[in-house]
Amino acid sequence: MDRVTLQQLQAMKERGEPITMLTAYDYPTALLIDQAGIDLILVGDSLGMVVHGFENTLPVTMDMMVLHCQAVRRGTRRALLVADMPFMSYQTGVTDALRNAARLLAEGGADAVKLEGGQRIAETVRALVETGIAVMGHIGLTPQSVSALGGFKVQGGTVEAARRLLDDARALQEAGAFSLVLEAVPARLAALITRSLTIPTIGIGAGGGCDGQVLVTHDVLGLYERLTPRFARRYAHLADVMRQAFAQFRQEVLTRAFPAAEHEFSISDDVWQALLKELGEE
Ligand code: KIV
Q: Quick: pLDDT tens for 128-157.
A: 999 999 999 999 999 999 888 888 888 898
3-state DSSP assignment of residue 100: helix
Ligand 1 centroid to 57 CA: how many Å?
Answer: 10
- Whether residue 1 is predicted with pLDDT greater than 90 in this model: the reply is no
Residues of the chain with CATH 3.20.20.60: 6-236
What span, in angstroms and rounded, lies between the C-alpha atoms of 162 and 50? 30
Phi first, then psi, for residue 261 (nearest 5°) are: -55, -40
What span, in angstroms and rounded, lies between the C-alpha atoms of 17 and 12? 5
* Angle ∠(189,160,177) on CA atoms, nearest 5: 55
For residues 224-241, average pLDDT:
93
What angle, rounded to 10 degrees, do the helices at 187-196 and 159-175 form? 30
3-state DSSP assignment of residue 55: coil
- Whether residue 253 is predicted with pLDDT greater than 80 in this model: the reply is yes
Q: Tens digit of pLDDT for each residue in 99-117?
A: 999 999 999 999 999 999 9
Ligand 1 atom closest to the Cα of residue 46 is: 1
For residues 186-197, average pLDDT:
98
pLDDT of residue 152: 84
Ligand 1 centroid to 160 CA: how many Å?
Answer: 25
Q: How confident is the model at residue 228 (pLDDT cuts 50, 70, 90)?
A: confident
Nearest CA to ligand 1 atom 4: 44
Helices and strands of the chain, counted as H and E runs: 11, 8
For residues 234-245, average pLDDT:
97
Beta strands of the chain (E only): which ranges? 19-23, 40-43, 80-84, 112-116, 134-140, 179-183, 201-204, 212-215
pLDDT of residue 273: 96
Candidates 17, 107, 183, 225; catalytic one: 183
Nearest CA to ligand 1 atom 2: 44
- Whether residue 282 is predicted with pLDDT greater than 80 in this model: the reply is no
Average pLDDT across the chain, whole number: 96
Sign of CA dihedral 58, 64, 66, 68: negative
Q: How confident is the model at residue 93 (pLDDT cuts 50, 70, 90)?
A: very high
How many percent of the chain have pLDDT more than 90?
92
pLDDT of residue 148: 86
For residues 61-81, average pLDDT:
98
For residues 30-47, average pLDDT:
98
What span, in angstroms and rounded, lies between the C-alpha atoms of 8 and 40? 11
- DSSP for 189-246, written as a single string: HHHHHHHH-SS-EEEESS-TTSSEEEE-HHHHTT---S---TT---S--HHHHHHHHH
6-236, which class in CATH? alpha beta
pLDDT of residue 127: 98
pLDDT of residue 136: 98
Does the active-site annotation cover 183?
yes
Nearest CA to ligand 1 atom 3: 44
pLDDT of residue 218: 98
For residues 231-250, average pLDDT:
97
pLDDT of residue 263: 97
Helix (H) or strand (E) holding 52: none
Ligand 1 atom closest to the Cα of residue 202 is: 7
